[in-house]
Each structure stands twice: as C-alpha cells, then as structure tokens.
Amino acid sequence: MGGADVTIYLGIGAAVVVLGAVIWTHVQQQSAIDRLDDRIAHLMAGVSLLTDTTEGALRDVAIEIGRLAATSDTRRPETPAASRSRINGAARRGRTVQDIAANEQLSEGEVRLHLQLDKARKDRSRHASLR
C-alpha cells in the first residue's frame, strides 16, 4: 500500500497547488477589478463636475444674452453729422472730452478724433479761401 499512499499524497498535493494557484489568480483579478472600479468612479466624478460646470456656464450665457436682448436700443442710429455738430458745440462751450464722451456714449478717443477732424476741415477751408 505504500505506492498507493504516495500517489494519493501527490494527487492531494497537486490539487492543493492548483487550488492555491486558482485562489491567487482570483485575488489578483479581484484587486485589478477594484482598481478599475476606483478609476471609473474618479472618471465619472470628473465628467459629472464638467457637465455641471458646462450647464451652469451655458445657463449664465443664455441669461446674459436674454438680458442684453431685452435692453437693446431700438432707436435709430444717428448720422455722423449730427454727432459731429453736438461734439463740436460741446467743445466750444468748454465741456471736457470726458464729459462729451459720457454724454455721447463714445470713447474719449472717438471724441478727440471728431475734434481733430473738425479742426483739419476748418484749416483746409481757411487755406482754400486764401487761394
């Protein structure tokens, strides 16, 4: 019976080794699955945050567009000659460039440009009358 006992022990030993390998493989795969689950959870949290931020930004843009559309000026644009005469009249009355720009809703640079162009027109007409 000695040979049969050795064979049984070898069979049991091989079964234990195979079972140990199966358990070790299962543990390794389970830890890989857990790491993958963590990565997917982080990815989903990032996508959720990005989605919430984008929705909020688009909502804010839509509100701002609606606000601007509701308050848009519907008056007719003025002719450059009318603006020019008001700007020149205000400058002759001693108003500052800043005041004129605020009243006309123009930049200070535009007001200065109107004043310089008017001065150049006057100089040209003076030179033309001297000829």
pLDDT tens sequence across 27-47:
999 999 999 999 999 999 999
Asked whether 90 and 103 are in contact (CB, 8 A), the reply is: yes
Q: Which two tokens stand for residue 28?
A: 């390794």
pLDDT for 32 = 96
Distance CA 8, CA 80 (A): 109
Per-residue tens of pLDDT for the chain, all 131 residues = 567 888 999 999 999 999 999 999 999 999 999 999 999 999 999 999 999 999 999 999 999 888 888 776 555 556 677 888 899 999 999 999 999 988 888 888 999 998 998 888 888 877 766 65
Q: Kindly list the domain boundaries of the chain, sorted by start residue.
A: 1-72, 80-130
